[in-house]
Amino acid sequence: MSHNFKPGDLALVISGGYLGETAELVRFVMPGELIVSPTTGKVYEFRPAAGVGGWLCKFRCMHAVKHEKNLMPLRGDFTPEQQKAKEVDHVHLV
């Protein structure tokens, strides 16, 4: 699954920690890469069990790495079909 994310994009967390939160994507992180926490300055090694990279995300005043499969983009035309149908309900026919 590829959403073609880029740094600065906003995403909704749809699984795992921070579920339901909006995140700003900072940069993509590869397995084994060292990450300096923008919040605390501590250095962490990204060692995902799945062996795939993830996005360093900013949540209000915290940062975490999330796998792309757990993020839904908040850009473009992603309006659910129910919302589109609701908009049609507001059309008045004469």
Give the span between the Cα atoms of 94 and 77, in whole angstroms: 30
**According to DSSP H, which parts of the chain are helical?**
81-89
pLDDT, one tens digit per residue, over 17-42 is 999 999 999 999 999 999 998 888 99
Model-wide pTM > 0.85: no
* Domain parsing of the chain, residue ranges: 10-89
The rounded distance, in Å, linking the Cα atoms of 9 and 80 is: 19
pLDDT band at 5 (very low <50, low <70, confident <90, very high): very high
Q: How far apart are CA 72 and CA 55, in angstroms?
A: 12
- The amino acid at residue 54 is G
What is the reported pLDDT for 39?
Answer: 80
Roughly how many angstroms between the first and final C-alpha of the chain, as a whole number?
A: 45
